[in-house]
């Protein structure tokens, strides 16, 4: 793929943990907690109707099924930016006008001098992602997402960027828990929540398949037009990233991975699905995938014969059909499964957009749970 976006899994504290695309370093925390709050609010119906006036639906543009990008505005008067709404990180940043990195020359940059509401915090920041990092400084200003306005919002301004050349977005808007945000900076969702912007502190994603238009992120509730059936609720197993417990992964009725349970990060900032090399090898054996130039190639005809990969999460099966996990690119077809997470944890998955295109997802901060239902 031209871009292999992997934004999530940021750890910012006294040290920085870097998660490259193919080889990762160990996080300083245990990711093996399983089955926490297993029955927590399972049967509770969602309280907001789809007509609630405090639900704001914000359009996202699907860039070649690689990244879902939306528009925000920062400053007075507003300066517009294209950002990824990323559940795998917690910070907001955009390029500064003083940034000289090649990536900044092809993206919109923020000019603090042109905003009467900007305040500089004077704090240097470094934010590390799976696909790169940014270095810069912290500031605050008014940030607008659709009709929502976050006052005195902390955000990073990059002066150096690495790994973001050619990306179809200017910056990143993190939606993970505040425990992994920059010290002293409140994430934008938490800031809006404290300012009373939402009837309910939730956000949700509908990610379109193939077509550029139609994808949305919604705040304050859910719109039932975007999914079928009922939402199944999964408790968050750790309130840093949006992390949940999985029971097993099967193909053709046989367990191919996660046989004793595992953990998964639900990450809108990652294009594909990532897991340990051992587990992805088992899946690729069933697919008869062949390694070529660091990608696993699959017969394009196999999309009609291969079984779904079934993720069992909290007792519910979530099938991923071959039409979803086989990616057509030019004259070849590639697997959407990638290895390399074993250094993070041998039983950890990263469920990116390949999974989330199939399932409408709701992120409930107040009740610390994720809702999943088949997308329309």
299 falls in which pLDDT band (50, 70, 90)? very high
The mean per-residue pLDDT over the stretch 287-316 comes to 95
Residues 56 and 191 in one domain: yes
Residues 77 and 166 in one domain: yes
Per-residue pLDDT of 17-75, as tens digits, reads 333 332 222 222 222 232 322 332 233 223 333 344 468 999 999 999 999 999 999 99
The mean per-residue pLDDT over the stretch 347-368 comes to 97
Helix (H, G, I), strand (E, B) or coil at 225: helix
Structure tokens given for 46: 């969602």
What is the model's pLDDT at position 6? 59
* Choice among 267, 347, 353, 364 that is catalytic: 267
What is d(CA 17, CA 19) in angstroms, rounded to the nearest whole number? Answer: 7
Rg (CA), the chain: 20
Could you tell me if residue 276 is inside a domain? yes
* Choice among 65, 86, 141, 353 that is catalytic: 86
Residues 84 and 169 in one domain: yes
Domain range for residue 277? Answer: 224-374
The mean per-residue pLDDT over the stretch 90-102 comes to 97
CA distances (Å), 20 to each of 8, 13, 25, 119, 125, in order?
11, 18, 8, 33, 19
Structure tokens given for 326: 């086989």
What is d(CA 315, CA 317) in angstroms, rounded to the nearest whole number? Answer: 7
Q: Please say if 86 is a catalytic residue.
A: yes
Residues 215 and 237 in one domain: no
Tell me the DSSP string of 325-363. Answer: HEEEETTEEEESEE---TTT-TTEEEE-HHHHTTEEEEE
Residues 238 and 284 in one domain: yes
Q: Is the pLDDT of residue 326 over 80?
A: yes
Residues 61 and 210 in one domain: yes
Structure tokens given for 218: 């919604």
DSSP assignment letter at 322: H
Q: Is the pLDDT of residue 134 over 70?
A: yes
What is the model's pLDDT at position 15? 30
Q: Is the pLDDT of residue 139 over 80?
A: yes
The mean per-residue pLDDT over the stretch 273-287 comes to 94
What number of other Cβ atoms are within 10 A of residue 255's Cβ? 15
Please enumerate in sequence order all residues whose Cβ is within 8 A of that of 181, keeping only pairs 6 or more positions apart, or say none.
12, 90, 91, 174, 187
Per-residue pLDDT of 191-247, as tens digits, reads 999 999 998 999 999 999 989 999 999 999 999 999 999 999 999 999 999 999 999
8 A C-beta contact, residue 141 and residue 62: no
CA 324 to chain centre: 17
Q: What mean pLDDT value characterizes the chain? A: 86
Residues 318 and 349 in one domain: yes
8 A C-beta contact, residue 340 and residue 347: no
What is the model's pLDDT at position 329? 87
What is the model's pLDDT at position 5? 55
The mean per-residue pLDDT over the stretch 94-119 comes to 97
Residues 197 and 345 in one domain: no
The mean per-residue pLDDT over the stretch 106-130 comes to 95
CA distances (Å), 372 to each of 11, 75, 289, 337, in order?
26, 35, 29, 21
Domain boundary among 193, 219, 245: 219
Structure tokens given for 148: 């929502």
pTM of the model: 0.87
What is the model's pLDDT at position 40? 27
What is d(CA 151, CA 118) in angstroms, rounded to the nearest whole number? Answer: 10
What is the model's pLDDT at position 55? 83
Could you tell me if residue 310 is inside a domain? yes
Angle in degrees, CA 234, 71, 185, rounded to 5? 65
The mean per-residue pLDDT over the stretch 88-114 comes to 97
Q: Please say if 65 is a catalytic residue.
A: no
Residues 152 and 233 in one domain: no
Nearest Cα neighbor of 161 from 106, 123, 113, 112 is 106
Q: Is the pLDDT of residue 118 over 70?
A: yes
Domain boundary among 187, 219, 251: 219
């Amino acid at each position: 793929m031209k871009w292999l976006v992997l934004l999530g899994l940021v750890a910012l504290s006294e040290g920085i943990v870097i998660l490259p695309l193919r080889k990762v370093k160990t996080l300083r925390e245990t990711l093996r907690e399983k089955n926490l709050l297993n029955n927590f609010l399972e049967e509770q119906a969602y309280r907001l109707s789809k007509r609630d006036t405090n639900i704001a639906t914000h359009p996202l543009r699907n860039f070649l099924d690689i990244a879902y990008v939306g528009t925000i505005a920062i400053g007075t008067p507003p300066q517009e930016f294209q950002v990824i709404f990323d559940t795998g990180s917690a910070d907001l940043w955009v390029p500064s006008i003083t940034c000289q990195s090649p990536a900044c020359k092809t993206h919109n940059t923020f000019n603090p001098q042109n905003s009467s509401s900007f305040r500089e915090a004077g704090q240097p920041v470094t934010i590390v992602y799976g696909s790169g990092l940014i270095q810069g400084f912290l500031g605050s200003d008014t940030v607008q997402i659709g009709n929502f306005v976050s006052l005195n919002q902390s955000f990073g301004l990059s002066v150096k960027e690495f790994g973001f050349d050619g990306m179809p977005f200017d910056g990143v808007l993190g939606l993970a828990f505040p425990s992994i945000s920059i010290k002293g900076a409140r994430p934008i969702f938490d800031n809006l929540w404290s300012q009373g912007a939402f009837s309910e502190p939730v956000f949700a994603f509908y990610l379109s398949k193939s077509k550029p238009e139609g994808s949305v992120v919604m705040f304050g509730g859910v719109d039932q037009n975007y999914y079928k059936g009922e939402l199944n609720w999964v408790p968050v197993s750790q309130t840093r990233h949006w992390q949940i417990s999985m029971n097993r992964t099967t193909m053709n009725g046989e367990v191919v991975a996660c046989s004793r349970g595992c953990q998964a990060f639900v990450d809108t900032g990652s294009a594909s699905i990532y897991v340990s090399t051992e587990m992805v090898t088992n899946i690729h054996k069933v697919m008869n995938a062949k390694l070529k130039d660091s990608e696993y190639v699959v017969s394009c005809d196999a999309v009609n014969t291969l079984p779904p990969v079934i993720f069992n999460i909290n007792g519910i099966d979530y099938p991923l059909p071959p039409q979803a996990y086989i990616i057509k690119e030019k004259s070849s077809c590639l697997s959407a499964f990638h290895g390399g997470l074993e250094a993070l944890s041998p039983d950890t998955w990263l469920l990116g957009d390949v999974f989330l295109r199939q399932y409408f997802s709701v992120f409930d901060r107040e009740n610390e749970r994720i809702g999943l239902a088949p997308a329309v």
